[in-house]
Structure 1
């Protein structure tokens, strides 16, 4: 009877209270981390509660028909719910920062500085990931979530929660930035705006995540400030070896941005001949660039080119550029139409 009453207390009263607490809007990331810590210790204490009840009732839990305590599953479920809420709230916070973005989509050229909203976001993520260092280690959980985000084996609970949160944040940020570029409400984008967007994708990890030592590796003989780097490859190499959260292997974090990275590379290099020639090939340099995505962005640039060059018909370079854009647009539309016919 005592075991049954205890189980009712754990599975109905306590479990319900924990689940309701975790879902409350005012509960922040720090509080969720504390809930994970508390439920981990409570789970570990269940064996002592089992021993206490056994001493009172003189009935061993190994006896046939004896009900075992459900404390382990109660606290484990609460901990998993808290972890899931961490990932959700982290993405919501990223959305709040992105709403502060104020790009001048018609700018003629980038001013060479990373956007303030992204710098603030990276600083927030750095401080947030530090909170996860307080999590206790428990190697028996997190398998499903870790597998979803390709988290390496061998990390404890603290490491896996932090790694999953980091990868989830990177994927959400990449998706949100891509959606910003392709927003149907955004009608025109200049090449200068593309350059600024590309700069933002490069600099925040440099300043905010990699730290001063990594910055110094990138600074060459062409400048001395944190906004200077020697090459695109150099930045990518250092980013791959940086650890905003310990435990990632190789270019795991870079893969979260690969769709956006390849799209921006295509426009920055203006490498349409390579893209069109290699389209559909498994070794294509721009394998992750969907023709419909490239078309949507290029058409925004085509409209800008027409608007900003009223007298373009009198300038050969402008005429040639406009003809090239129109030619590429036609070829991309052909690829998109071909995809729709085969789907």
Structure 2
């Protein structure tokens, strides 16, 4: 009977999860005084039996293993030979294909030439009748025998009318051209000024030659041309015909029209003050000038957008190193920076903003100067010029610079360090806006206390950019956390935990520590918000991993391993990675996970069910649906591992307890849904 009992115990140990071996071994000591020694003898015999079976199996498969290795060695030589043949064949194919490719390209060129030649021959054949008729007509004209043909009279009647139609169409095209050329007026003006300079240089050279007594007679003169009349009234030219004279005259007409139009425009621009003095209305002219000013500002904005983009691309997004006092004075002369603590530091030292901040500030001042140059020529009052400059600067800040900052923040290569530096840069640029207002006041001599003075909107611009950068920091932090979470490789059916936290989680915590050290330069609320957001996202991701629908079974060992990881998260939160949190505020991000894991680790279902719904409940943050989902996964694992659980009283009681708790949790969930 004892031997049979020992056999049963051995079979139970072999088929049972190692986490539940304790009660089985305890039953050995509870039976008889010498049961332990007899059980150990039986266990040694079972081990020797298994060793013999393993040895038989190894002997049985050894020859097959040796044969397989031998075949692999034989195949390796053939594989190397085949590889060499394939490489040689590929090389010969490449060499042969290269010649075929060259010949194919030559054939394609020949085909194109043949097609072009055939097309040309076809078109020339269509032109042959016209050329023959033209040749006959030319012979008749030379012999002056065309007067008797009726087509000659028709041509003489229709050609002037056709010329007038062509002239009208050309004049219409010229007017359209004059209207559309405004889009290219800057390039036209540049070309005109260059040609005028060349013409002035040429005229001075001609005048110098004339003063020296050299005069060159024109080669061509309209007055020296001879004409002849045909009997039917057609005018014939001894050189090229009177048609060319008409064409020259039409060209002169168009040139005169163009010059007159440009002169009218110049007079309108150059004489507004005279017209105002005589009492003529010039409001439309000034409206035109203001429209030109708006277009000029748009051109300036486009130009400075390229300048800002180039500055941002070349920036290294790191604090400005200052080695000597001269370098410090150079930076301060370009940008109004004042910090008493940094000024007290010894050289070398670093300024908090990056090199793009002084460059941006300088370029904004250059834009104000460029806008001022145009506004001064409008002959407006100082107050109006001041208002124009402030409005133009507002457009530069709120539209151009803001757009460049938003695009910069969204670029994929901008990391967390760069985003932190961008926030610092925008803070300093925001503080410098009042110096820009003083700069405009100094160059326009308009007091800022004037009632209608426009204020700069740089504060809102840089605040919006800073908020966008902060949001991008939160997003990139969460994305980085997700990348670490994807590396998690839990063995959900493990019997017991490894006794230490998972490697991926320790790497994640080290990354967060180093990242939050960079955040020390940020405003306190930004760093705290980023830290709290990261901890909440980490807690949510871990909870989702635990409750994933694709995860069907979880063992108690996996729960213990998961608990070790959550403990590391709580230790990280309690270490105050970012200063400023009160008490255990940061640890509350993991409170849901902590209460859920405590419930399963302690197996305290009676307390949870008894205190459910009470504000003082120990497991107040544990949702019944969450607990039910996790318990069902453990229930399935228990059924799978404990094959003989129905034969052991403890396992039967545990299984009944799980089923009872599952029923009560389902009733709670149904009650919540109803």
Please give the range of the TM-score, normalised by the shorter of the 2 chains. Answer: 0.7 to 0.9
Change (3 A) 1:179 1:241: closer
TM-score relative to the length of structure 1: 0.80
> Following the alignment from structure 2 to structure 1, what is the Cα–Cα distance between the partners of residues 571 and 454?
56
Structure 1 gap ranges (5+): 136-158, 201-236
The residue number in structure 2 matching 1:174 is 539
- What is the CA distance between 1:58 and its match in structure 2? 1.6
Change (3 A) 1:244 1:84: same
> Following the alignment from structure 2 to structure 1, what is the Cα–Cα distance between the partners of residues 471 and 606?
44
> Following the alignment from structure 1 to structure 2, what is the Cα–Cα distance between the partners of residues 285 and 325?
20
The structure with more radius of gyration? 2
> Following the alignment from structure 1 to structure 2, what is the Cα–Cα distance between the partners of residues 272 and 7?
65
- What is the CA distance between 1:134 and its match in structure 2? 2.5
> Following the alignment from structure 1 to structure 2, what is the Cα–Cα distance between the partners of residues 242 and 94?
19
Is the 8 Å Cα contact of residues 605 and 661 (structure 2) preserved in structure 1? yes
- What is the CA distance between 1:66 and its match in structure 2? 1.8
> Following the alignment from structure 2 to structure 1, what is the Cα–Cα distance between the partners of residues 502 and 535?
17
> Following the alignment from structure 1 to structure 2, what is the Cα–Cα distance between the partners of residues 58 and 266?
74
Q: Does 1:293 align with 2:626?
A: yes
Q: Deviations over 1:197-251 (max 9, x none)?
A: 0011xxxxxxxxxxxxxxxxxxxxxxxxxxxxxxxxxxxx977753211111111
Is the 8 Å Cα contact of residues 281 and 287 (structure 1) preserved in structure 2? yes
Higher relative contact order (CA 8 A, sep 6+): 1
Is the 8 Å Cα contact of residues 240 and 250 (structure 1) preserved in structure 2? no
> Following the alignment from structure 2 to structure 1, what is the Cα–Cα distance between the partners of residues 572 and 493?
30
| Count of residues in correspondence between the two structures | 282
Q: 2:530 aligns with which of 165, 173, 180?
A: 165
> Following the alignment from structure 2 to structure 1, what is the Cα–Cα distance between the partners of residues 555 and 520?
43
Change (3 A) 1:109 1:242: same
The worse-fitting range, judged by mean Cα deviation, of 118-127 and 242-251 is 242-251
> Following the alignment from structure 2 to structure 1, what is the Cα–Cα distance between the partners of residues 571 and 476?
29
> Following the alignment from structure 1 to structure 2, what is the Cα–Cα distance between the partners of residues 239 and 69?
44
> Following the alignment from structure 2 to structure 1, what is the Cα–Cα distance between the partners of residues 485 and 660?
34
Q: In the TM superposition, what are the counterparts of 1:101-180 in structure 2 within 5 Å?
A: 101-135=488-522, 159-180=524-545
Structure 2 gap ranges (5+): 1-387
Is the 8 Å Cα contact of residues 405 and 465 (structure 2) preserved in structure 1? yes
Q: What RMSD over aligned residues (CA atoms) do the two structures have, in Å?
A: 1.4
- What is the CA distance between 1:56 and its match in structure 2? 1.1
The residue number in structure 1 matching 2:559 is 194
> Following the alignment from structure 1 to structure 2, what is the Cα–Cα distance between the partners of residues 102 and 241?
26
> Following the alignment from structure 2 to structure 1, what is the Cα–Cα distance between the partners of residues 446 and 500?
71
The residue number in structure 2 matching 1:314 is 647
> Following the alignment from structure 1 to structure 2, what is the Cα–Cα distance between the partners of residues 239 and 10?
41
Q: Deviations over 1:142-168 (max 9, x none)?
A: xxxxxxxxxxxxxxxxx2211111111
- What is the CA distance between 1:133 and its match in structure 2? 1.6
Higher helix fraction: Structure 1 or Structure 2? 2
TM-score relative to the length of structure 2: 0.41
- What is the CA distance between 1:60 and its match in structure 2? 2.4
Q: Deviations over 1:40-98 (max 9, x none)?
A: 11011111110000111122232122211111111111111111111111111101100
The worse-fitting range, judged by mean Cα deviation, of 244-253 and 274-283 is 244-253
Is the 8 Å Cα contact of residues 509 and 572 (structure 2) preserved in structure 1? no
Is the 8 Å Cα contact of residues 3 and 68 (structure 1) preserved in structure 2? yes
> Following the alignment from structure 2 to structure 1, what is the Cα–Cα distance between the partners of residues 627 and 571?
28
Is the 8 Å Cα contact of residues 409 and 468 (structure 2) preserved in structure 1? yes
The residue number in structure 2 matching 1:262 is 595
Is the 8 Å Cα contact of residues 574 and 587 (structure 2) preserved in structure 1? no
Is the 8 Å Cα contact of residues 487 and 504 (structure 2) preserved in structure 1? yes
The residue number in structure 2 matching 1:329 is 662
The residue number in structure 1 matching 2:390 is 3
- DSSP 3-state at the match of 1:283: coil
